[in-house]
A = this chain, B = another copy of it.
Amino acid sequence: MAIVLGPNRYGKAETRLVRVHRDGDTHRLVDLNVGVALSGDLSATHLTGDNAGVLPTDTMKNTVYAFAKQHGVGEPETFALLLARHFVETQGQVRSARVTVESFAWDRLGPHSFRRRGEHTRTTAVTVTREATQVVSGVTGLVLMNTTASEFHGFVRDRYTTLPETTDRILATAVDAKWRHLGDRADWGTSFEGAVDALTDAFVNTYSMSLQQTLMSMGTMVLTARPELAEIRLALPNKHHYLVDLSVFGLENENEVFLAGDRPYGLIEGTVTRDDVPPAAVEWYL
């Protein structure tokens, strides 16, 4: 028996880049949080502290800023691919590079003025290895609510079940979704907007018997609308809204007054996929 090094990677997390593109007096703004992680032949530094194969994480940060100048920054997927390919192509000891990007949207107020939009964050996770390229896009923090058109009944009852059945409840969630692209070329911006629209439309238009059913509907509508996608994974917290019992005050609560709970919360996680797509090149979720 010996104790040995297993899978490993290293990189720079949370490099905060703001890139201003000046087209005359009208400016365009890109606001990103970039992460880089590299893996490959990194035994020496672990075993003996020999850093001959270690590109400093400080260099990764510098590369993000330098590339932002040299190449500009358009869609986050494009920028992430550029960075990931650079590390694999220029560093022989690197066998895989993973670049993640959070993109924060700003609304234009004037030629050089902006207000940050807070309603959701666009995400990207690109992995480039010597054999494969994989692009995953996603969204987090998209909070949706239906104040009716949601039921929950017919579920298992055991000794510990006290939940009443309901034919009218609030259904609310904060969508955390990631979707895997079939290829490494796409109209990334259109694809993202289309996916978010499909997620939203499905949530709004599904008469829900369970959040699982809504999840399946959301995933199906995204894949139906976006042929460039292979599969989608959703993590949907059930943001419980508890009907407040007002009867003790002589008041009837006809699904009008709710306590918005923080914890605990239900958490529904699921994948929706095409049945004929190649498997993911590398693990891409959670």
Contact = CB atoms under 8 A, between A and B. Distances in A.
A267 B142 CA distance: 28
Contacts of A143: 115-116, 118
Main secondary structure of the interface of A (DSSP, over half): mixed
A212 B45 contact: yes
Interface stretch (A123-131, A153-161, A187-195): A153-161
A268 interface: yes
Contact of A51 (B15, B56, B209): B209
Contacts of A51: 152-156, 209-210
Nearest to A211: B10
A132 B216 CA distance: 29
Interface in A92-143: 106-107, 109-110, 112-120, 141-143
B246 A69 contact: yes
A22 B255 CA distance: 9
Interface footprint category on A? 35 or more
Given A56-B156, A155-B55, A223-B3, A263 B16 contact: yes
Interface in A138-195: 141-149, 152-156, 158-163, 170
B48 A213 contact: yes
Given A3-B272, A274-B3, A29 B158 contact: no
A265 B14 contact: yes
A68 B61 CA distance: 29
B163 A113 contact: no
A257 B19 contact: yes
A212 B4 CA distance: 13
Interface string A252-286: 01111111111111111111111110000001001
A8 B15 CA distance: 33
A76 B271 CA distance: 30
27 contacts: A4-B272, A5-B273, A6-B273, A8-B270, A13-B266, A14-B264, A15-B263, A17-B258, A18-B170, A22-B255, A29-B145, A29-B147, A45-B209, A45-B212, A46-B210, A46-B215, A47-B213, A49-B208, A49-B213, A59-B158, A62-B161, A65-B257, A112-B146, A112-B147, A115-B144, A118-B141, A286-B286
